[in-house]
Structure 1
């Protein structure tokens, strides 16, 4: 690919050839990346805190949030079949909302995965202490960071394979838990056989033991558990057949939500009364312990370690692509546009990994509340990204209904009303975050981030006006789907 100047790059939207990525992610890997994005530490660990706050009604919270997530993903699918690019969120924001929206969305999604990577690498180091308490926490975190960094530099196919097997471990653990739980409930074996019953879902204080308000207050935790499902959109530029693999991955999302979230929670809360779960303790560990499975804590610790490394691996991948996309637009240092000979954005991945490493040091110094704060900041960043997806889909659908843009090959269901309803739901989540003492910190951090973004944008307007030019002249109506 011939070298381009920033002026050349910002004048035209990046297509497959301009991006320069290798399409090395097959259908099997895309499916597992989509599944892995829907299963993380938010479910394995966060559910314990949420259960203690809401009881069995947490199942309803996950179900409602799951419907909203599906609406968001179908909206994203509509945009992806219109124009599949690796910097999808910021590209769509730039096209339909203007250069400033694209700039903010790109940097905010980058921040989301950087802070998530900070938390997950340190969390992984904490889990290692279960088996090797003598190993310094910072050393384990550094080793994990270096290994995942190297894997992401080698090739996108290796990233896909690592994520495939990470996801396989998580899926196997949840399916095993569900099958064993069903066996206990129906056949009555194990130590929990005499007390396990689906009546725990409504007899221990009712389905809403702490009231509807307490259930609503768990939505921040619930939405954090779903963060990462949109990662499939970042893979668009490196999928072998995005028109087929991406819609298939998105359409299987309801099944994944019902099985992995709703199914596992129903089984766990039937095996063990909700009153026995505690914040900070994995409900899976508690349930396995109640059943009496040998080495239950060790098994779940391994699964949670895998979940943390999977999230960090995804973060390394997505931050590199998003940062390079910003650099190609002239909105980040030009040197970050570089690809290595394996067609991975080595410079952008390196810059992101260095910042994640700084987060490891930060968490080593102050590990107490750092995870809760980082979780809250990540949730707000994720909510922003989801809202942008919905708004862009609304603008796109309005445009193609007018005949200005091509009709998508993968339409979101229920028209625009579902997108507006999902936007309203995300607004409610932000309001609820303001009422939670631990989560409220994110509403203090985000304005500071916004100020930094505005300052950076004003600098760009003066030094690189071509990097913040309007999108209208770049994206012209075409005759058919791209």
Structure 2
């Protein structure tokens, strides 16, 4: 039996979603890691290392520092009222309907584009074993797998994502431990290089390509963090959001240090940063370079499941956003529909259909690396917009609802001044995207979306005004 959920006139948006609260603390914790660790780190870090050298670790650390405060701002506002399903509801309630419309649709596209990047990456991973296999085959199979996983009851989905994320965590820990052992052994690779921490300052120094290299490294580095805010879309399906969300957010600094900075350092002490290629995963190539071919194949499988995990989390998020938009009247009402397992099946199928755009993108751009760069740049710009909306929502919340802030048990450190610092940082990151031809193309493509959103916002307002006028005439 299927259910169509109708919002009652007296309810606030987000007050009763009809979604199952089936995500436990361990599901939320692992989704917080799994959503943020995807191809941006496993595949994209090859390009960022080649651009900035060892200094890329500082880039990741700075981005992680800034995004922690964005997450704290999101956490405080999201937990200030029990009816909020996600930060999209926060934006609509605090900033107005225009913000809910822009946030919901932009976040939907964020994960569509990110999902496309993940599917593109999977075709590259599959080519490691079957280089002659047509690119469209792994792409289509990936989308079918993602739809099947998301059709499960949310508890089962959370369980699958838990194990997906756990595989990623084990892989990164194994890489760090292996690197430490190889350095202690002073292991010599077949190419003659020894594993050594001196790789971090030899071969041109810690910042071998100067400040320009560091700045151009921001594009892929910022994409590596997309999905960090994913826990903000789980509020409606978390059993105890006031406990699980703060725990997930507070653990972010340690996770960034371990899963980003230490992982990158491990790669660069095993072999020089100059060996990193922009079109391959350094996690795979590192083991290949030191002669551990079997381990390289295993890591390739791990990073492929990582891409599937990140795409899985993103599809989960897009289906919930589309479900919420239909509830608000900003998307067709037919999408506000739940399956017998209380998952938004129609919103899921529509979102998954867009992931198939990865197939023509692969053939139009000429290869995996080019398609990946274009998709990740567009995704990065859209996510920065979402993160900015979260911070602006916090600033307005502090001004208009001081009583909620006073009662909050999870206040953001630094408050409004820190929000201003992080917003300025986002403007700086956007500026770095002008520095390279491939990222400029992605930046230009992302601007088209905001023009489309402006037109859509005007059309939606006009439709609502006409509907109210007709009701008045009928009355």
TM-score with structure 1 setting the length: 0.90
C-alpha displacement of 1:204: 2.3
C-alpha displacement of 1:216: 1.6
Residue 139 of structure 1 corresponds to: 137
Q: Is the 8 A contact 1:73 1:230 kept in 2?
A: yes
Q: Is the 8 A contact 1:155 1:343 kept in 2?
A: yes
Q: Is the 8 A contact 1:6 1:334 kept in 2?
A: no
* Distance change >3 Å, CA 86–CA 143, structure 1 → 2: farther
Secondary structure, aligned partner of 2:123: helix
Alignment of 1:113-128 (within 5 A): 113-128=111-126
d(CA) in 2 for partners of 1:12, 1:407: 21
Residue 52 of structure 1 corresponds to: 50
Mean Cα deviation higher: 167-176 or 409-418: 409-418
Alignment of 1:26-175 (within 5 A): 26-83=24-81, 87-133=85-131, 135-175=133-173
Per-residue Cα deviation, 1:17-58 (whole angstroms, up to 9, x for no partner)? x20011111111111101112311111111111111111111
Secondary structure, aligned partner of 1:154: coil
State whether structure 2 residue 438 is matched by structure 1 residue 438.
yes
d(CA) in 2 for partners of 1:222, 1:309: 20
Residue 397 of structure 1 corresponds to: 398
Q: Which runs of 5+ in 2 are unaligned?
A: 469-475
Residue 188 of structure 1 corresponds to: 186
* Distance change >3 Å, CA 3–CA 28, structure 1 → 2: closer
Per-residue Cα deviation, 1:82-138 (whole angstroms, up to 9, x for no partner)? 135675222121122221121111100000111111222232233223334454332
Secondary structure, aligned partner of 2:278: coil
Secondary structure, aligned partner of 1:207: coil
Residue 179 of structure 1 corresponds to: 177
* Distance change >3 Å, CA 129–CA 203, structure 1 → 2: closer
Secondary structure, aligned partner of 1:332: coil
Secondary structure, aligned partner of 1:39: coil
* Distance change >3 Å, CA 133–CA 279, structure 1 → 2: closer
C-alpha displacement of 1:211: 0.9
Residue 265 of structure 2 corresponds to: 266
d(CA) in 2 for partners of 1:432, 1:366: 23
Q: Which runs of 5+ in 1 are unaligned?
A: 469-482
Q: Is the 8 A contact 1:120 1:308 kept in 2?
A: yes
Task: Indicate the RMSD between aligned Cα atoms, in angstroms.
Answer: 2.4
Residue 354 of structure 1 corresponds to: 353
Per-residue Cα deviation, 1:375-427 (whole angstroms, up to 9, x for no partner)? 111000110011111111122223343x3666322111122222111111000
Residue 324 of structure 1 corresponds to: 323
Per-residue Cα deviation, 1:222-246 (whole angstroms, up to 9, x for no partner)? 1001111111111111011111011
Alignment of 1:284-295 (within 5 A): 284-295=283-294
Residue 473 of structure 1 corresponds to: none
Mean Cα deviation higher: 253-262 or 356-365: 356-365
> How many residues are paired up?
464
Mean Cα deviation higher: 213-222 or 362-371: 362-371
* Distance change >3 Å, CA 268–CA 122, structure 1 → 2: closer
* Distance change >3 Å, CA 132–CA 207, structure 1 → 2: closer
